[in-house]
Structure 1
Amino acid sequence: MINWDTLTAMQMDALREIGNIGAGNAATALAQMVQRKINMEVPKAGVMRFEDIFHLVGTEEEVVACVNFAVQGEAPGRILFVLNQASTFPLVDMLMGIPMGTTHELDDMGKSAVQEIGNILTGSFLSAFSQVTGITFLASVPALAFDMLGAVLSTALIEGGYYSDRVLVIETQFYEQDVRLNGHFFLLPKAEALTTILNALGINQ
């Protein structure tokens, strides 16, 4: 069975490319929702060890918003969309159509907005994977956590029964004029799901 340690350079490149397409889909969905032109960059995409995620986002104590989905279907696993606090509050302002700098904490309305946009962005991200691979991905109802990065990631991994120390990370920057939002998609396919995805791409060797 294929695992992260046995991936070839071609397989890694294919997963990164799908991740890039997924991030582009997510940027388009965000632009449609806020009715603004949203640009997108993917500074980093690839497989990372669990402990390296903290350095990418910030620290274990960094407060983040994490929208967490269980993925069912032919390639089960889990997908997380994580925003640091500095990006979460401007995103809420953008979604609510209020002046930038207004939001300084997440109330119920703000949490609902972040959860909804996380749902839309992740749905767009998974849609790209589905279009490229022909695999149907069924995402659960999203769960939102606003807590320290170490806590939200550990909880998500334990709940998903995910025991690997590797994840596919797509670092995504959405920006519009002076507003820049740093988000991260973490795709955690179960071992058999990784094999299914690569088989669908025709690069299982």
Structure 2
Amino acid sequence: MNIDKLNETCIDILKELGNIGSGNAITALASIIGKKIDMKIPSVKLMDFNEVQNIFGLADAIIVGIYFDLEGSVKGNILFSLDIESASYLIEYLMGVNVGEEFSDIEKSALQEIGNIMAGSYVSSLSTLTNLDMKISPPAISIDMAGAILSVPAIKFSELSDKILFIETEFFEGSKLIKGDFFLIPDIESFDKILNALGVELDG
């Protein structure tokens, strides 16, 4: 399958998967912090890798990236990212501590667990919708420049695809805006499996 030939129907279905997955992930986060969370309708786009760093403004913008391998019937990666302000707020709320200039090991571990619960909920909803076996690996966290974090999946999948499914999720706890982004990066064969499982016929 050539991802560049995805028609509008396929894109709409991928967007709907993103909406449902994000909604379930936010529900999981709300259960962690014990607060009501309101979510904007996610922005879902199929993008080129070289467009992604523009999401963060500059390639040298520092972000928190929580990275997972996709395992089972679907191969690829998921990256969940938070800007530093959002990550700091979640830590301060959950742990009752002010984050210093750098995240401590225990604070990084807490962020990994947040990412793990949200990504796990996201993948579980996709697995249910497609009836495909989908699992995630244990999380790996990196706090670095956006360009460096995004280079990991870009290098790994550059020979298979230069496309990435981007799900921008903005949610609110009270008046506080928290921005988290999911990057779903299935390989080409797995994109095909997902769409076939949904009964989609591709043009071309």
Deviations 1:119-168 (A, max 9, x none): 0000011111111101111211110001001001102333x444322100
Whether the 8 Å contact between 1:162 and 1:190 is mirrored in structure 2 is no
Q: 1:179 aligns with which of 176, 179, 188?
A: 176
Alignment of 1:55-134 (within 5 A): 55-96=54-95, 98=96, 102-104=98-100, 105-134=102-131
Corresponding residue number in structure 2 for 1:38: 37
- Please name the residue that 1:166 is paired with: 163
2-structure distance, mates of 1:131, 1:145: 29
CA contact (8 A) 1:69 1:143 kept: yes
Matched letter for residue 78 of structure 2: I
Distance in 2 between the 1:95 and 1:172 partners?
20
1:149 is matched with 146
SS of 2:82's equivalent in the other structure is: strand
- Distance in 1 (CA, whole Å) between partners of 2:201 and 2:186 is 15
How big is the shift at 1:59? 1.3
Alpha-carbon contact 2:18-2:42 (below 8 Å) kept = no
TM-score (norm 2): 0.93
Quick one: distance in 2 between partners of 1:33 and 1:198?
Answer: 32
- Describe the shift of the 1:55–1:174 C-alpha distance in structure 2 as closer, same or farther (beyond 3 A): same
Mean CA deviation greater in 131-140 or 39-48: 39-48
**Structure 2: distance between partners of 1:58 and 1:34:** 29
Which residue does the alignment assign to 2:192? 195
3-state SS of the aligned residue for 1:79?
strand
Q: Counterpart of 2:134?
A: 137
Matches of 1:191 and 1:31, distance apart in 2: 33
TM-score (norm 1): 0.93
CA drift of 1:51 comes to: 1.9
| Structure 1: gaps (5+ residues) | none
RMSD: 1.3
Q: Deviations over 1:143-198 (max 9, x none)?
A: 0001001001102333x444322100000012111211111100010010000000
Give the CA deviation at 1:57.
Answer: 2.3
SS of residue in 2 equivalent to 1:75: coil
Give, in whole Å, the separation in 2 of the partners of 1:43 and 1:187: 14
How many residues are matched?
Answer: 200
Matched residue of 2:40: which SS?
strand
